[in-house]
Amino acid sequence: MEAYQKYLREWYLYTKDELPEPFKKLLLEFSNGAILFNDIIIPGHKRKYQGMTLDEKDLQPTGIEEITSLSWMPDKFFVIGKSVQRDTIYLLTNKESVMEIKDKNVSYYHNKMDIIVEYEDIYSWLEKVILGHSYLGGSLNNGLSITTAKAQKEAVRVDWNEPLALEELQRFESIHDMELPTEYRDFLLEHNGGEIDSPAGPTVAMLSLDKHDNAELYVEKVADNVLQVAVESDGEPVFLNCSTGEVFQNREFETSYDSWDKWLEYEAEIIE
């Protein structure tokens, strides 16, 4: 729990020091996240992926940032669940009641939200959801953002950027006095980054080499021959060592993937 709260304090969408008490109690006494009826996702604390197999990664709880399209966390509310089928999210209020609203309809102001239903507290919400929900069958993971790619083929969308001009690529290499790995060069000349979307929001962002107007995320040099080239769904940066071609996901330079294509293959297994 302490690690989870530390992670959320470092997450730019959430600024409070402590999780709401009802949600803390839920995680400690009920479960570290859950998936109900092939539909409702309750978030939990996801561990670092370093060293995990694909099967182990699939079994990790869904992070809060993966179940909502929010670009911020409202001060008065805390996201405690999402219905994939209804495209709604469940908000725990500062009065400890639970509201169900459309995911796109979150507002700082209570009176601007289109509330579908409100529950007295977190346990009355769970009780009514569990007793009143119909299980639709099929794979437990079908249609959820944390699932394997086969269950999600029709649910994800990939938005590639326009190809990078060769002159821009060569200019970047000249400015930073480095040569990009062949696989990564080919990717930039074909796509120059892009974003993979799932029903729950962006899954992974591959950064563009050139900085567009008002762009907040783009490829940056962070050390000798090391670039930040992507951002995972949990906010973890992805780095490329241009000397070795290795791709890794932390600043301790522990190698996760042998090459850019190997990393893309891993992402394809998750989202295609």
| Residue of 9, 270, 256 whose CA lies nearest to 155 | 270
Q: What is the pLDDT of residue 76?
A: 77
pLDDT tens digits along 240-265: 999 999 998 765 545 578 889 888 87
CA distance 65 to 85: 18
Task: Tell me 23's DSSP state.
Answer: H
CA distance 259 to 126: 44
Other Cβ atoms closer than 10 A to 61: 21
> What does DSSP say about strands 88-93 and 98-102: parallel, antiparallel, or unpaired?
antiparallel
Q: Which domains does the chain have, with CATH numbers?
A: 1-104 (no CATH), 157-268 (3.40.1580.10)
pLDDT tens digits along 113-149: 778 899 999 989 988 888 877 554 444 344 443 333 3
pLDDT tens digits along 40-51: 899 998 877 667
Return the residue matching tokens 């993966």: 66
Counting Cβ atoms within 10 Å, is residue 94 exposed (0-12), middle (13-18) or buried (19+)? exposed
Return the residue matching tokens 């080919």: 186
Q: What angle do CA 40, 89, 24 make, to 5 degrees?
A: 75
CA distance 86 to 84: 6
- Which tokens in the block code for residue 102? 């459309």
Q: How confident is the model at residue 70 (pLDDT cuts 50, 70, 90)?
A: low
Which phi and psi angles does 217 have, rounded to 5°? -120, 125
